[in-house]
Amino acid sequence: MAGNSNRFQDASIKKAIIVSNSTGKEVDMTECVNMEYSESIYDDTIRVGYEVANAAGTINDKTLLEGLPLVGTEDFELTIIDGDGNKINVNLIVNNVTVVTKDNQKENLLLSLVSEEIIRNESEVNSVRIRHNGRISNSIKDIFKNNLQTEKTLFIEETSNNFNFIGNKRKPMYMINWLSKKSIPNKNGKQGKTAGYIFFETSLGYYFKSIDTLFAQEQVKSYGFFGQAETPVGYDGNIINLDIDNRFQAESKLRSGAYNTKLILFDPFNCKYDEISEGVKPDDDGTTNAGIGLPIINKKFNNIPTRTTFMLRDTGVLPTGDVKEQVKKNEEEIFDVANILNQAIRRYGQFSIGAVQIDIFGDFSLHAGDVVFIDAPSTDQGNDATTDKLTGGKYLIASLKHVIRAGQCQTRLGLVRDSVGRKGKPHNGSMVN
């Protein structure tokens, strides 16, 4: 929509309450020096950096640190709102306290806040101990509810494949992330085509979604980088700063196996080795990409594996059924590692083929895992088009940071995509083509 580019500029802290562990007393901490609120698809928790003055006389003629006293693991309720009325309300835990500014007259404390689940994850009693059978998504639901013991919403995409395993007293979040690499979405069930999930948290809850589904989403907002005071028609806002850093990262992508991987499997049942090497086949990839397609790399490197993974086949391990059924299945694999793992490795490697950082005016309606559309002017003077067809297009929000200082907010988005080329268009058309 057209409008004033400053419409998301204002932001405020509506509630910031910390609760003393020793007395249960609630202390109002809405007066802060600055704060940073962060979400990331690479992180299992929301993170907040909250800087406050540690002034004398704050609590019973003592400083905040001494008067509370502030020792860590305190409950912290935070509500922030942007200039458009979008609200974030989260309950967090004090993870760490650091003195960041100190002189003879003032001292500031930086409170590092995290979700309660990340603290509960460290408890021995919450470790995953039992055997799990069947569909992976059902195992994820059970671990989330019974091991993490959280009432938060889990937005989960059902998986098509089964996997039997024993927890072996491993931490619940470790187990969920371990299972994410073995998961295939249920929507098409194409083994070797769409494997790979992401587990992360936003202010709305936790997500367990396939990479394919995340990139297939419709864009929630469109942003342009045109140096105009007013937002052009068809866009939701202006980009204040745009940083294209290491656009293609050939070395790191090759190292991650984004284009070609080798899998060496050992079958302990038959004492045999199998070697599987697979490269990307763009015409038969089966994935849904944010851009037009994968970059065409030099043919000298296209058919050469750049990452090797060693795995044991799970032949005869934890078959399903009673003793008689298990004996019948003792030569079967419970997990089709040959058709899943190589593709998953490539999919994770391709995840951030394109990476961009943008700064916009604070917008609390956005979340990690959302898709946005961006446009920037072309640097090709001989091109009739006014927008950059290589940089522009749909991106996934991999990381998000809201920075609030003195009632003003900017939002930094770390954007990624798994392909190149401009796909999609701004909302409702645009002044630029």
User: pLDDT digits over 284-299, tens only?
Assistant: 455 556 655 566 666 6
Give the residue from 364, 423, 376 showing the smallest Cα distance to 396: 423
How high is the mean pLDDT of the chain? 80
Measured between alpha carbons, how far is 39 from 88 in angstroms, rounded to an integer? 12
Question: Which token pair is 401?
Answer: 């940071």
Q: Which residues lie closer than 8 Å to 269 by C-beta, 6 or more apart?
A: 313, 315, 316, 330, 331
Identify the pLDDT of residue 253. 60
CA angle 412, 417, 423 (to 5 degrees): 105
CATH of residue 92's domain is: 2.40.10.10
Total tally of structural domains belonging to the chain: 4
423 occurs within a structural domain: no
- Any idea what DSSP says for residue 60? T
Q: Are residues 128 and 199 part of one domain?
A: yes
Q: Are residues 68 and 22 part of one domain?
A: yes
Measured between alpha carbons, how far is 269 from 78 in angstroms, rounded to an integer? 55
Query: Residue 91 forms beta bridges with which residues?
Result: 77
Q: Are residues 104 and 17 part of one domain?
A: yes
CATH of residue 138's domain is: 3.55.50
Q: Which residues lie closer than 8 Å to 66 by C-beta, 6 or more apart?
A: 59
| Whole-structure pTM value | 0.83
Out of 345, 369, 404, a domain closes at 345
Q: Are residues 26 and 51 part of one domain?
A: yes
Q: Are residues 131 and 98 part of one domain?
A: no
Q: Are residues 273 and 374 part of one domain?
A: no
DSSP string, 254-292: HHHTSSEEEEEEEETTTTEEEEEEEE--GGG-----SSS
Give the residue from 100, 89, 102 showing the smallest Cα distance to 50: 100
Sign of CA dihedral 19, 21, 25, 31: negative
List the domain range (segments joined by +) for residue 139. 124-214
Q: Are residues 263 and 200 part of one domain?
A: no
Question: Which token pair is 340?
Answer: 């899943």
Q: Are residues 45 and 27 part of one domain?
A: yes
Q: What residue ranges of the chain have pLDDT lower than 70?
A: 1-8, 104-105, 187-193, 228-229, 245-261, 263-266, 268-269, 276-339, 342, 352, 378-390, 419-423, 428-433
Three-state secondary structure call for residue 198: strand
Measured between alpha carbons, how far is 212 from 187 in angstroms, rounded to an integer? 10
Cβ pair 372, 220 in contact under 8 A: yes
Question: Which token pair is 245?
Answer: 């850093």
Identify the pLDDT of residue 58. 75
Cβ pair 410, 240 in contact under 8 A: yes
Residue 38: exposure state from Cβ atoms within 10 A (0-12, 13-18, ≥19): middle
